[in-house]
């Protein structure tokens, strides 16, 4: 019996370092859901660069290797120049370190139970970075502190470099980031905030009639398009409210094949022992190969290479839970350390895991408190009418099979009007003079009515 407790690090140790991201074209269905037309809602569409296409060898040479070498090399030089112009290469592990640190500091709060859960740190990081553009004062500073950002200008440049640096969309892999801000159609907001979201965060802005099915479908359509339709059940449950002022969204879509695929002929059923001790019969993929492993405190880790990034599988020691490892400070950074050569005998269950995680309490526990308090929240860069963060959540899904990995997530931050909320009055009920009372049951039937005119 195999006891394989996997920590899903495809988007953490692999994609987080190797990168993930691209703003999708509206007519691009590669890895995406059905295109949705949001033209009538658009306030400002973000301008984003097209991803250069790498020249394919087979387009220049025949099966015998005969062809135009000069043309191929010229196309390759043109491709490399386009990649450099795009900004590829500016992002390195040192400049990406804040995201890895953020993942380490937040994972412990996210993985608090033994339920299946998937988390995309880069998606939450990007969404919170957008939140800093529409907040001010202590409200903004608390978010900046969580992101470990020194100042706005540095964070903006870091986000832009991260966005460009992890952008990939080629014949072998797709990894796309997208941002959007959905405003209530009659909301009074400041254009500068809208422009900043578009210019620095590649976020398109739309106005929709919040609290209507029309708005729900527009948002769900955008999310489905940018998550490959992997989270359509979750997006189908989106219900906007008439008090929603702004809904910020970040999405990530990832799809990549194994560099060395598992052979389906070797996939066999075996037993997976769940966290509750129950035995579950599932398909296991098998492969033996040269690779690397890391023996850490309470776990063994080994990566499998993908065409874009790598997926690190972590097998906790007997008696150690995946959650306890993720709650260890610096654990994800540990997984990026040195590995030793080994002959790996893989037995990996095929799986399709998804979750929806409410983030209100998580973010408040991590120090972001003022944004949720409508009496303290400072959204002055966005509106003069007052607003607060009413809810935050993330939905995510990862599935693997013999061919590779497909994953998606979206982070949702909903800001509501606080101007509509009047400060409740203070009322003193000092019953020091004649008064009356009434006692009702749960059906509002008056059981007793009385007056008190004297107490002697």
pLDDT reported for residue 421: 54
Most confident of the following: 80-84, 379-383, 448-452: 379-383
Predicted local distance difference test score (pLDDT) of residue 443: 64
Each residue's pLDDT tens digit, 376-434: 999 999 999 889 999 999 999 999 999 999 999 999 999 998 765 555 566 676 776 77
What is the rounded average pLDDT of the residues 44-66?
A: 81
56: pLDDT confidence band, cut at 50, 70 and 90? confident
* pLDDT at position 180 over 90: yes
Name the more confident of 90 and 387: 387
**Residue 424: predicted pLDDT:** 58
What is the predicted pLDDT for the residue at 44? Answer: 87
- Percent of the chain exceeding pLDDT 90 equals 55
- pLDDT bin (cut points 50, 70, 90) of residue 196 is very high
pLDDT category of residue 440 using cuts at 50, 70 and 90: low
pLDDT value at position 113? 87
Per-residue pLDDT, averaged over 58-69, amounts to 85
Q: What is the mean pLDDT of residues 46-63?
A: 80
Average pLDDT of span 310-322: 91
pTM: 0.84
Note the CATH number of domain 10-257+352-417. Answer: 3.30.497.10
- Tell me which of 113 and 25 has the higher pLDDT: 113
- For residue 279, pLDDT beyond 70: yes
Side-chain-side CA neighbours of residue 227 (13 Å): 29
According to the model, what pLDDT value does residue 15 have? 35
pLDDT attached to residue 57: 80
Domain ranges of the chain: 10-257+352-417
Specify the higher pLDDT residue, 137 or 419. 137
pLDDT at 70: 86
Contact 46, 26 (CB under 8 A): no
> What span, in angstroms and rounded, lies between the C-alpha atoms of 17 and 7?
17
Lowest mean pLDDT among 125-129, 222-226, 441-445: 441-445
Residue 115 pLDDT > 50: yes
Residue 4 has pLDDT above 50, yes or no: no
pLDDT tens-digit profile of 213-232? 999 999 999 999 999 999 99
State the pLDDT at residue 45.
82
Average pLDDT, rounded, for the chain: 85
Evaluate if residue 67 carries a pLDDT over 50. yes
What is the per-residue pLDDT for 3? Answer: 40
């Amino acid at each position: 019996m195999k006891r394989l407790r996997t920590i899903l690090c495809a988007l953490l140790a692999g994609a987080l370092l190797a990168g993930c991201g691209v703003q999708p074209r509206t007519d691009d269905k590669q890895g995406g859901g059905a295109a949705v037309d949001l033209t009538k809602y658009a306030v400002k569409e973000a301008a984003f660069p097209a991803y250069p296409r790498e020249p394919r060898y087979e387009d220049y040479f025949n099966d015998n290797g005969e062809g135009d070498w000069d043309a191929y090399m010229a196309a390759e030089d043109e491709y490399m120049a386009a990649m450099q112009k795009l900004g590829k290469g500016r992002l390195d592990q040192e400049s990406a370190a804040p995201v890895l640190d953020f993942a380490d500091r937040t994972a412990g709060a996210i993985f608090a139970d033994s339920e299946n859960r998937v988390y995309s740190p880069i998606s939450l990081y990007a969404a919170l970075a957008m939140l800093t553009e529409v907040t001010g004062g202590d409200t903004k500073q608390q978010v900046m502190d969580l992101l470990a950002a020194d100042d706005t200008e540095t964070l903006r440049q870091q986000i832009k470099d991260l966005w460009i640096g992890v952008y990939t969309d080629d014949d072998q892999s797709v990894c796309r980031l997208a941002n959007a801000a959905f405003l209530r159609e009659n909301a009074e907001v400041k254009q500068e905030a809208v422009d900043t979201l578009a210019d620095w965060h590649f976020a398109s802005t739309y106005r929709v009639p919040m609290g209507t099915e029309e708005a729900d479908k527009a948002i769900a359509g955008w999310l489905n398009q940018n998550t490959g339709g992997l989270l359509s059940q979750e997006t189908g449950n989106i219900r906007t409210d008439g008090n929603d002022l702004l809904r910020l969204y970040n999405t990530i879509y990832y799809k990549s094949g194994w560099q060395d695929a598992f052979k389906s002929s070797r996939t066999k059923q075996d037993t997976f022992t769940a966290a509750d001790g129950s035995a579950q019969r599932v398909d296991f993929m098998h492969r033996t190969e040269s690779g690397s492993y890391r023996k850490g405190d309470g776990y063994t880790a080994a990566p499998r290479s993908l065409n874009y990034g790598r997926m690190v599988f972590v097998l906790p020691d007997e008696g150690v839970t995946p959650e306890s490892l993720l709650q260890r400070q610096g654990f994800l950074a540990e997984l990026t350390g040195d590995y030793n050569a080994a002959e790996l005998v893989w037995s990996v269950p095929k799986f399709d895991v998804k979750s929806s995680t409410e983030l209100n309490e998580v973010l408040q526990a991590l120090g972001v408190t003022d944004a949720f308090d409508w009496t303290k929240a400072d959204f002055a860069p966005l509106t003069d009418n007052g607003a607060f963060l009413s809810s935050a959540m993330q939905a995510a899904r990862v599935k693997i099979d013999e061919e590779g990995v497909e994953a998606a997530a979206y982070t949702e931050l909903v800001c509501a009007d606080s101007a509509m909320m009047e400060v409740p009055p203070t009322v003193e009920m000092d019953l020091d003079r004649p008064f009356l009372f009434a006692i009702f049951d749960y059906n509002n039937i008056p059981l007793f009515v009385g007056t008190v005119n004297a107490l002697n």
